[in-house]
């Protein structure tokens, strides 16, 4: 019997299984990461990736600063290699700085290059990749398996959610190791992860139902803005990427306050605005801005798990989890906007119309 052709929607709907499997096998990727911290006095973690992996890196840096309490940053690999330094103060030893390269395929040219650079210059290096025999693994001290499975379609969806869960589990495990989290805090953080994974079918259903109610205006937008804050700035970037690469309507992601400094001048009734976020200081401000934006376009949607007064345009998830793991949930509606939206207007997301091999090395 011929195997069914994989689709983006198929991978989206497989996420509940993938997340539960990742949790069940967490020792495979948590233990080697924790061992790296046990062996070295790491004081700074630099995360690298492109596309989805960069967006996950932004969230990872937030985790390690806010949860672990350690210096961390996300960088575009080529920008870092050409213009940055691992330590501008020259006060850290090289074995106190960890370079983490995230690449689902392990073939991202820029990420491979920066990890090779780091390794050659004597820094600690670690790769998180689905393909443990890929090119990136040649240039790191430690290879950690990303348990998302191979995605045979150009856009990555399941890979993103599994990556963010992996990074979350890394962060809470290191927080426990270093004493930033008590055992009770660690157990509560783990319970949230398990609760989310066990209820992810509900997340999928609520996201798809919300898309169906709002698809007509969304897919007929002239432009889409996706706004986030705090940990969900990374969610906004991922939403922008997914919608841009599949639905192919001009889509721009902003930190919520930055959106007010210029882009608002071009607002009109055919533009759609998504606001993402929950338990951060900006939440009430976000709701105030929602009312203001509605004076210029009715197409304003809030995506949250925190109770709000809203209507069918808003997606308030019934699954309630902490703000650090909620980004895994918040990306799903954008996956449906991207993949189902593309299908509804006749775009085949299995085909990459840009076939120049610029971003990746041959596998």
Torsion sign over Cα 68, 72, 75, 81 = negative
Residue 2 has a pLDDT of 34
Cα 63 to Cα 175: distance, rounded to the nearest angstrom: 10
Using 50, 70 and 90 to split pLDDT, how confident is the model at 3?
A: very low
Separation of alpha carbons 29 and 57, rounded Å: 16
pLDDT by residue (tens digit) across 187-199?
999 999 999 999 9
Three-state secondary-structure class, residue 105: coil
Mean pLDDT of 134-149: 97
What whole-number distance in Å separates Cα of residue 198 and Cα of residue 196? 5
DSSP string spanning 262-278? TGGGG--TTEEEEEE--
pLDDT at 354: 73
Say how far apart CA 30 and CA 146 lie, in whole Å. 11
Q: What is the mean pLDDT of residues 247-272?
A: 96
Q: Please state, as a whole number, how many other Cβ atoms lie within 10 Å of the Cβ of residue 143.
A: 19
Q: How confident is the model over 53-94, as pLDDT tens digits?
A: 999 999 999 999 999 999 999 999 999 999 999 999 999 999
pLDDT of residue 248: 95
20 three-state secondary structure: helix
CB atoms within 10 A of CB 79: 12
Asked if residue 242 lies in contact with residue 334, where contact means CB atoms within 8 angstroms, the answer is: yes
Number of helices (H), then strands (E), belonging to the chain: the values are 13, 10
Q: What is the DSSP letter of 329?
A: H
> What is the predicted pLDDT for the residue at 358?
63
Please give the average per-residue pLDDT across 103-122, as a whole number: 95
What lies within 8 Å, CB to CB, of 183 at 6+ separation is: 176
Domain ranges of the chain: 8-198, 202-344
Fold of 8-198: Rossmann fold (3.40.50)
pLDDT of residue 350: 80
One of 3.40.50.10420, 3.10.129.10, 3.40.50.10490, 3.20.10.10 is the CATH number of 202-344, namely 3.40.50.10490
Q: How far apart are CA 188 and CA 208, in angstroms?
A: 29
pLDDT for 5 equals: 77
Percentage, residues of the chain above pLDDT 90 = 91
pLDDT value of position 1: 30
Rounded to the nearest 5 degrees, what angle is found at the Cα of 327, between the Cα atoms of 325 and 333?
135
pTM tops 0.85, yes or no: yes
Residue 359 confidence class, pLDDT cut points 50, 70, 90? low
**pLDDT value, residue 222:** 96
For the chain, give the percent of residues with pLDDT over 70.
Answer: 98
Look at residue 254 in the predicted model and tell me its pLDDT. 97
**Confidence check: pLDDT of 185 > 50:** yes
């Amino acid at each position: 019997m011929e195997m069914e052709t994989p689709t983006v929607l198929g991978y989206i709907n497989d996420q509940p299984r993938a997340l539960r499997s990742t949790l069940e096998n967490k020792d495979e990727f948590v233990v080697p990461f924790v061992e790296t911290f046990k062996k070295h006095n790491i004081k700074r973690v630099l995360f690298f990736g492109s596309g989805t992996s960069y967006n996950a890196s932004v969230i990872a840096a937030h985790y390690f600063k806010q949860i672990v309490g350690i210096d961390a940053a996300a960088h575009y690999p080529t920008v870092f290699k050409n213009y940055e330094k691992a330590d501008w103060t020259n006060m850290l030893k090289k074995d106190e700085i960890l370079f983490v390269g995230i690449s689902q395929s392990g073939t991202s040219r820029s990420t491979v290059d920066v990890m090779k650079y780091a390794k050659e210059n004597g820094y600690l290096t670690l790769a998180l990749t689905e393909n443990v025999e890929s090119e990136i693994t040649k240039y790191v001290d430690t290879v950690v398996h990303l348990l998302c499975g191979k995605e045979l379609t150009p856009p990555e969806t399941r890979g993103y959610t599994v990556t963010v869960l992996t990074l979350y589990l890394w962060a809470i495990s290191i927080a426990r190791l270093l004493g930033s989290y008590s055992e009770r805090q660690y157990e509560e953080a783990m319970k949230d992860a398990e609760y989310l994974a066990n209820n992810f079918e509900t997340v999928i259903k609520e996201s798809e139902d919300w898309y169906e109610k709002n698809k007509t205006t969304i897919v007929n937008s002239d432009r889409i803005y996706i706004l986030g804050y705090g940990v969900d700035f990374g969610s906004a970037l991922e939403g922008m990427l997914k919608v841009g690469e599949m639905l192919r309507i001009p889509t721009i992601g902003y930190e919520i306050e930055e959106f007010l400094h210029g882009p608002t001048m071009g607002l009109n009734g055919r533009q759609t605005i998504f606001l993402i976020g929950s338990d951060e200081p900006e939440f009430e401000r976000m709701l105030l801005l929602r009312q203001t934006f509605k004076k210029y376009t009715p197409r304003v949607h809030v995506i949250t798990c925190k109770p709000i007064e809203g209507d069918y345009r808003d997606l308030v998830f019934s699954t309630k989890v902490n703000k650090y793991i909620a980004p895994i949930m918040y990306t799903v509606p954008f996956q449906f906007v991207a993949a189902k939206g593309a299908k509804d207007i006749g775009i085949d997301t299995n085909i990459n119309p840009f076939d120049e091999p610029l971003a990746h090395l041959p596998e």
